[in-house]
Amino acid sequence: MRTATITRKTAETEISVTVNLDGTGAYDNQTGVGFFDHMLDQLARHSLIDFTIRAKGDYHIDDHHTVEDTGIALGQALAQALGDKKGIRRYGECHLPMDDAQVRCALDLSARPYLVWNVTFAAQKIGTFDTELVREFFQAFSTHGGITLHVDQLHGFNAHHVAEAAFKAVARALRLAVETDPRKADAIPSTKGAL
Kindly tell me which of 20 and 27 has the beta carbon lying closer to Mn ion: 27
Rounded Cα gap, residues 145 and 181, in angstroms: 20
Residue among 109, 176, 103 nearest 141 (CA): 109
- Please state the closest distance from residue 129 (CB atom) to Mn ion, in A: 12
Choose between 50 and 164: whose C-beta lies nearer to Mn ion.
164
What's the closest the beta carbon of residue 163 comes to Mn ion, in angstroms?
A: 8
- Residues 45-74, interacting with Mn ion (CB under 5 A): none
Nearer to Mn ion, 63 or 164 (CB): 164
Residue among 188, 129, 125 nearest 158 (CA): 125
Question: Residues 139-168 vs Mn ion: string with x where CB under 5 A?
Answer: -------------------------x----
- CA-to-CA separations, 16 to 23, 66, 73, 76, 186, in angstroms, rounded: 18, 11, 7, 11, 31
Shortest Cβ distance from residue 98 to Mn ion (Å)? 8
Provide the minimum distance between the beta carbon of 96 and Mn ion in the complex, in angstroms, as a whole number: 13
Q: Where are the beta strands (DSSP E) in the chain?
A: 3-9, 13-20, 27-30, 50-57, 91-98, 101-108, 114-118, 125-126, 129-130, 148-155
Residue number with the shortest CB distance to Mn ion? 164
Q: Applying CB under 5 A, which residues contact Mn ion?
A: 164
